[in-house]
Amino acid sequence: MPTREELALVVRTAISDVLGTEVDEVHEQTSLLVDYGIDSLELMEIGARLERALALRIAVEDLTGARSVGHAIDLLEARTAGQS
């Protein structure tokens, strides 16, 4: 099971790839909606990348329900813990 730090890097990398930003620009406090105006397709693309990277099915609610990047990492951590 990846550590939270490893998970955070995977998530921030997926986000930065889709939004065309640098990984360093994506923080735990970043709100994809407020800071980037992310749309549903971009969210789905991030989800698809995370599913591939983590070999994990990700619920749509985990993507749409996260208030911030840190919150999304927390939700994913719970999922990966539940999987092991």
Q: Does 48 bind other proteins (CB under 8 A)?
A: yes
The rounded distance, in Å, linking the Cα atoms of 67 and 34 is 10
Is residue 45 a contact point for other proteins (CB under 8 A)?
yes
| Nearest residue (CB) to other proteins, 25 versus 78 | 25
How far is residue 49's CA from residue 53's CA, in Å, rounded to a whole number? 6
Q: Does 23 bind other proteins (CB under 8 A)?
A: no
Q: Site for other proteins (CB under 8 A): which residue of 18, 58, 66, 73?
A: 18
The CA-based diameter of the chain, rounded to the nearest angstrom, is 34
Q: Which residues bind other proteins (CB under 8 A)?
A: 17-21, 41, 44-45, 48, 52
